[in-house]
Each structure stands twice: as C-alpha cells, then as structure tokens.
C-alpha cells in the first residue's frame, strides 16, 4: 500500500453529509448557523487514516452485509493496541461491546443503580453524562473539580462528604477529561479508587479520549491500577474518537468483574444488542492494526494547533484564558474577563465572532463563563476563530 500522508491542513467541505457539527447547528443549537464556524461537537474535520478507508472499501466491495460478530482479529487488534500504546494488558474475556460509549453508560447506569439513586460526576462535566443520569430517573450529584493554574484537580474532601451524604452506587469518571483535558495520574486515580472502595462505589471510567494525548503525556487507565481495584471498575473505550469514526458505532466496555460482566451481557441480550455492524468492526480493526503512524502525525498536528492557538489568543484576545491540558483536542476557555452572562456571551460569539462553540454552561454550573472549542480542524479554521475572538473586548 502506498504510504499516503494525511494533509491535516486540507479543508474538506462537510456540508450535506448529515454531519451534526456542520449541518445541524440550527437543529441542535436553535441558531441560524449558515455563517458560523462550527467548533462545538467533538469530532474532527480530518479524513480517517487511509488504511481504514481502504479496509472499508474492500469490505463494501465484498457486498454482503449479513449478521456479523466480533472475530479474533477485532479483539487481537484492540488488545495489541492497548499493550503497545498504553502498556496495558487487556484480557479478551473482559470485552463487551455496545454501539457507543454513551448508550453503554446509560445501560450500565440502569443496571448498577436504582431510580432515585445518586450518580456522581465531576463538573465541569460532559453534558451527556448528566443527560443519561437524569433521563434514566437517577440524580446527578456533583463532585466539582477545583480550578488550579496547573489544571483542574479532584476535590477528595468534597467527594467523601458527597459519598456520606448521598450514598451513591456509581461514579462516572472521564479520563482524559472532557472538557478540561486533564489526564488523571496514577496517584490521583489510586486516591479516588481508595475512597470509592471504602464507600462501595463502582467507577465507570469513560476512556474514549485515551489515545489523544499531548506530547510527553501518558495515559493511566483505571485498569492499570492494583488488581484489587479491578473488581469495582469498568473502562469504556473505542477507536471512534481517536480515528474519526464516531458515526460507525462500536465501543468496548472492559469489565474484569465476572459477575458484573455477565449481568451486562445478559442486559445487552435482553435488548437484542448482540449483533454488530460489519463496517464498524472493519474500521476499528484496521485502525488499531494500521493506524499508529497516522495517529502519531495527528497528535503532532493537534499539539501544534494547540500551541499556535494559545499563542495567538495571547496576542489577539488576551482576556481569554486557555486551560492547561494534557490530552484531547478540546480547548476549555475562560471568558469570564469579558464580564458577560452566558446568554450575552453566546450572542457575542455568534453575532460578532461568528463562531459556534459549546457553551460552558452545558457542562454544568462549573462551566459558567467558559466555552469549549474544538481544535481538531485545519489551521485555517483556528485562524478564523482567532479573528472572530479578537473582535470581543472586555
Ligand atoms: C467523554 C465522552 N464520552 C463519550 C462520547 C461519545 O461516545 P459515543 O459516540 O461512543 O457514544 C464523547 C463524545 O464527545 C465524549 O467526549
């Protein structure tokens, strides 16, 4: 196969592809999006690795799309990936698969808690966490992260009092953390798990961003921790965020605890969720088998995008402060110096800056005065965003 390098600077028109980010701004954000630069949904504007496209072409050319199952190649590719990229040895029997991380989290919330129970999340939190907790009749209980010049941190004292007060059965962890970009360290995770174990709280760790690290960073999964922790953790992972395959739909929930895993598989079967999409498996397998060099290039591009954007903000919109991150392609921007409430901030971004970010308030009360923008795009879009932000002044 020719070694085709992806040109991440290439601008590709995504309109009229059913793209939520580009074609559905009006539908989801209730705004006229025609002249706005979409920087909200977290998917990137790059083609997936050429090896993945080739694998998909061959599979499509085969032409038969009958019922399909995950085969040896699928499991082996994922296990090899985690061993090589993250020094994490996964066992094949831990794998359960659901079409997406969010639907899997929702099913696990149903399975591991009762209506009316508290489920802990750490704000600013990914909005879908709160949505699936409340829409399943459970209560969101917040353990807010603390803001710090070094990046956000856990508040263990607050977490302990939250456990005592609400006796939650579950905590949803996000690692690396959307929106702040923190990658939790082994020490932080160990301390978190010690508290959770002492209070009988199961941790579901959403690790969908694990591969998107900034240079010099390493990823620690809850599955890297001591064996004793494994009975009480579930890790969710997918190739989708890493390789730009979000609409193809397959994710893995790794569950070392055999009883919990069995119960989850029963639950999937109870919903008829035991058939897998052939194209999603082809794509994920090819990505894990052949996507490494491409991902290295992508990570370099994203790191350079982040460096450039932060520097440009410093000149063009110094009121806007970028949170220090260790991973993801998200920038969590503190706009409080503008002195606007969230409605006024949104209006200014839309009408003056002409950008559609994710508004911080959709990440809970911790997000007030912040916006999240997506740096996973050709540099040209970031230049446009900077020009727009430069028009705002405190
Ligand atoms: C932390 C986190 N989890 C899950 C998802 C979505 O996962 P899926 O599309 O597999 O449901 C996202 C997407 O942005 C995310 O940021």
Taking the chain (394 residues) in runs of 10, the rounded mean pLDDT of each run is 79 96 87 87 97 98 98 98 98 98 98 98 98 98 94 97 98 98 98 98 98 97 95 98 98 98 98 96 98 98 98 98 97 98 96 96 97 98 98 96
Distance between CA atoms of 10 and 318, rounded to whole angstroms? Answer: 28
Give, for ligand 1, the residue of 208, 238, 280, 330 to mutate: max count of ligand atoms closer than 8 Å to Cβ: 208
Give, for ligand 1, the residue of 97, 102, 175, 176 to mutate: max count of ligand atoms closer than 8 Å to Cβ: 102
Taking CB atoms and a 6 Å cutoff, what residues make up the pocket around ligand 1? 42, 100-102, 126, 174, 178, 206, 208, 238, 240, 246, 251
How much is the pLDDT for 3? 60
Sign of torsion, CA 90 92 96 98?
A: positive
The pTM assigned to this predicted structure is: 0.98
Query: Which residue has the least CA distance to atom 2 on ligand 1?
Result: 208
CA of 102 to the centre of ligand 1 (A): 6
The single-letter DSSP state of residue 350 is I
Atom nearest to 240 CA in ligand 1: 10
The reply to whether omega before 176 is within 30° of 0 (cis) is yes
CA angle, 205 as apex, 310 and 119 as ends, to 5°?
105
Sign of torsion, CA 68 74 76 79?
A: negative
CA of 262 to the centre of ligand 1 (A): 24
CA of 164 to the centre of ligand 1 (A): 30
CA of 43 to the centre of ligand 1 (A): 10
How much is the pLDDT for 354? 96
CA of 1 to the centre of ligand 1 (A): 32
How much is the pLDDT for 203? 98
């Amino acid at each position: 196969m020719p070694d085709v390098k992806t040109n991440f600077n290439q601008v590709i028109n995504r309109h009229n592809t059913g793209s939520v980010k580009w074609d559905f701004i009006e539908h989801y954000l209730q705004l006229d999006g025609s002249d706005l630069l979409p920087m909200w949904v977290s998917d990137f504007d790059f083609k997936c690795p050429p090896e993945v496209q080739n694998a998909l072409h061959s599979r499509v050319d085969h032409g038969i799309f009958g019922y399909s199952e995950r085969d040896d190649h699928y499991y082996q590719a994922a296990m090899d990936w985690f061993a090589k990229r993250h020094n994490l040895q996964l066992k094949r029997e831990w794998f359960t698969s659901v079409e997406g991380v969010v639907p899997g989290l929702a099913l696990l919330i149903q399975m591991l808690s009762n209506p009316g129970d508290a489920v802990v999340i750490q704000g600013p939190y990914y909005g879908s966490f709160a949505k699936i907790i409340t829409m399943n009749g459970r209560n969101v209980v917040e353990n807010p992260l603390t803001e710090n010049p070094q990046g956000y941190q856990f508040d263990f004292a607050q977490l302990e009092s939250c456990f005592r007060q609400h006796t939650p059965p579950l905590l949803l962890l996000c690692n690396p953390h959307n929106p702040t970009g923190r990658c939790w360290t082994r020490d932080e995770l160990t301390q978190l798990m010690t508290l959770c174990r002492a209070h009988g709280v199961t941790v579901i760790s959403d690790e969908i961003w694990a591969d998107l690290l900034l240079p010099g960073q390493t990823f620690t999964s809850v599955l890297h921790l001591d064996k004793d922790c494994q009975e009480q953790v579930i890790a969710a992972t997918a190739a989708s965020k890493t390789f730009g395959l979000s609409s193809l739909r397959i994710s893995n929930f790794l569950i070392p605890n055999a009883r919990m895993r069995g119960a989850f598989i029963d639950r999937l079967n109870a919903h008829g969720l035991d058939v897998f999409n052939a194209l999603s498996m082809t794509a994920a397998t090819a990505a894990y088998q052949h996507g490494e060099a491409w991902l290295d290039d992508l990570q370099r591009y994203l790191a350079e995008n982040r460096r450039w954007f932060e520097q440009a903000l410093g000149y063009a919109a110094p009121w806007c402060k970028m949170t220090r991150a260790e991973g993801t392609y998200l920038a969590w921007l503190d706009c409080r110096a503008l002195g606007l409430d969230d409605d006024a901030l949104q209006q200014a971004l839309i009408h003056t800056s002409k950008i559609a970010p994710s508004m911080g308030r959709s990440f809970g009360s911790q997000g007030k005065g912040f916006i999240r923008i997506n740096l996973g795009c050709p540099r040209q879009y970031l230049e446009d965003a900077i020009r727009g932000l430069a028009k705002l002044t405190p």
